[in-house]
Structure 1
Amino acid sequence: MTDPLSPVKPNESEVLIVTGMSGAGRTTASHALEDLGWYVVENIPPELIGTLLDFVSRTPGAVPKLAIAMDVRSNTQFSDVMESLNTLAANGIEYRVLFMDAADEVLVRRFEHGRRPHPLQGDGRIVDGITRERDVLAALKSNADVVLDTTDLNVHALARAINELFSDEGPITLRVNIMSFGFKYGVPNDANFMADVRFIPNPHWVPELRPFTGLDAAVAKFVLKDEGAEEFVNRYAEMLELVFEGYRRENKHYATIAIGCTGGKHRSVAVSEELSRRLRQLPGLTVNVTHRDLGRE
């Protein structure tokens, strides 16, 4: 009998584990990956992951992109996933983990809208099931290569996010998402690094600049000419370059850098755009910029 976790590598195959909180959009992500040419396997028990990869390894090139999607319904002992993945890693089988997440209140609303119980709520409330699920998945989330927060994403925006993360062909580069945000709307929970640029004077208090955003040249010039702003961008970019080199050594391929100001309209937008310009000059990076709170009142 073949050991289901035997030390084999799927030749020329990219392996992605898609998991996360129930209701966070795993099904939509799976469909988007299929549209990108991935072979998606749904709800496989953790114990069979090694068996599946063993099968793939016997047909080199037949499945160049394999996504294994699972949630707590895949196995009543979902905590076994970490043990299985640790064994795969110890045996030299390379894989990456995409963890889907969303705010609790959004998950509750999605379950109520679909009139479905949470798989772990039992006789309790939906929020009780969500709390239990977070406890079960805590280790898996902390070890994920990328955590995708779908709180503010509809199905179309989520599909676009998956496309931006996983549509590149050829050798995998480090994919960096720079996100501006406003602290008054809450901090993003999927950021690998977070910077606060509220030390820069706020264009909101300049009447002729208030109606504009950090995407406008006049606002960007005001923000970046401030003493310390340019030095901050330069030093932060240098620090991130060191971090990204470490990410490559550790086989991590995704990073989210969050830049925050008060409302997410002026300073964080301008700094994010300038930081992205600096980082795009580095080799081996794919840099995407999103402005989470731009347009909010």
Structure 2
Amino acid sequence: MNDPTSDANVVIITGLSGAGRSHAANVLEDIGYFVVDNLPMPLIPSLVVSVGSGEGKRRKIAVVADTRAGMTAEGLDQALIELHRAGLPTTVLFLDADDQTLAQRFEETRRPHPVDSRSLAESVATERSAFEDVRAASDIIVDTSDLSVHDLRDRLRDAFEDAETHHRMRVDVTSFGFKKGPLRVVDLMFDVRFLPNPFWLPELRPLTGQDERVVSYVFGHPEAGIFLDKVNDLLDFLIPRYVAEG
């Protein structure tokens, strides 16, 4: 019998506080990972096996583990052993940054450091020391000191996004009547009231835009085809740039 979790893959996201773990989790969630935050280390293998099996199994699973979850090198080793036994390929992602950058980020957000020490600098140093062995055991280490959130997103997408989700974007097209007000959530809006309106023809009024008679009537006017060509040109230019921006 095939292992029910054999086609799943797991990412354990860890690293220093303020280095970008939460943002990394958001990026992986955006590219299709099922993300669990702050799960105690001993529970990671059983949860991953449970989520990665059965009818509703998830193929891509990410778990965020930090000091609050009891992350230690020993706990990580044990979790990796159990995940390996379950046939689950696992990647450990470690987010890092220099001490000055970490301290600056905490000062800017005015959030307390999770490691309680006499000073922020001491908290950062204490956590770094505690995570030395975890860092050494990690598969991918990303130093975010000089990375913007966009740079980090691109780095993680390059590392973890597969061909199925790479550069995939959903485009929804809808029509509306200005009489009832414009759409509230929209990226691009085109006013096409200059085009011939089949509503004013009694024989076309009950029909929809999917009816061939309506299509023939509208595109029987040259400006309709010209307008559609220009919109297509605009979208051909914009969509790849929207995808690149994320």
The TM-score bracket by the shorter chain reads: 0.5 to 0.7
Q: Which residue of 2 aligns with 1:85?
A: 79
The TM-score with structure 1 as length reference comes to 0.50
User: Within 5 Å, which residues of 2 pair with 1:187-266?
Assistant: none
Equivalent residue in structure 1 for 2:118, among 124, 136, 146: 124
- Please give the alpha-carbon distance, in whole angstroms, between the structure 1 residues aligned to 2:88 and 2:16: 25
- Please give the alpha-carbon distance, in whole angstroms, between the structure 2 residues aligned to 1:38 and 1:13: 10
- Please give the alpha-carbon distance, in whole angstroms, between the structure 1 residues aligned to 2:94 and 2:111: 22
**Alignment check: 8 A CA contact 1:12 1:61 kept:** no
The letter of the residue matching 1:12 is D
The TM-score with structure 2 as length reference comes to 0.60
Q: Which residue of 2 aligns with 1:268?
A: none
**1:25 and 2:20 equivalent?**
yes
Q: Which residue of 2 aligns with 1:48?
A: 43
**Structure 2 gap ranges (5+):** 165-246
Deviation at 1:159, TM superposition (A): 1.2
- Please give the alpha-carbon distance, in whole angstroms, between the structure 2 residues aligned to 1:61 and 1:144: 29
- Please give the alpha-carbon distance, in whole angstroms, between the structure 2 residues aligned to 1:123 and 1:102: 19
Q: Which residue of 2 aligns with 1:280?
A: none
SS of 1:127's equivalent?
helix
Q: Which residue of 2 aligns with 1:145?
A: 139
Deviation at 1:79, TM superposition (A): 4.8
- Please give the alpha-carbon distance, in whole angstroms, between the structure 1 residues aligned to 2:136 and 2:56: 31
- Please give the alpha-carbon distance, in whole angstroms, between the structure 2 residues aligned to 1:20 and 1:107: 12
Deviations 1:64-113 (A, max 9, x none): 110111211223x6455324324325625431100000011000000011
- How many correspondences in the alignment? 161
Deviation at 1:115, TM superposition (A): 0.7
Question: Identity across aligned pairs (percent)?
Answer: 34
Deviation at 1:137, TM superposition (A): 1.2
Q: Which residue of 2 aligns with 1:10?
A: 5
**Structure 1 gap ranges (5+):** 1-7, 171-297
Equivalent residue in structure 2 for 1:37, among 28, 32, 37: 32
Structure-2 change in CA distance of 1:142 and 1:65 (3 Å): same
The CA RMSD over aligned residues, in Å, is 2.1
Deviation at 1:168, TM superposition (A): 2.3
Structure-2 change in CA distance of 1:106 and 1:13 (3 Å): same
User: Within 5 Å, which residues of 2 pair with 1:52-131?
Assistant: 52-59=47-54, 62-75=57-70, 78-88=72-82, 91=85, 92-120=87-115, 122-131=116-125
Q: Which residue of 2 aligns with 1:133?
A: 127
Higher strand share: 1
**Alignment check: 8 A CA contact 1:88 1:94 kept:** no
Higher helix share: 2
**Larger Rg belongs to:** 2
**Alignment check: 8 A CA contact 2:10 2:88 kept:** no
- Please give the alpha-carbon distance, in whole angstroms, between the structure 2 residues aligned to 1:169 and 1:61: 22
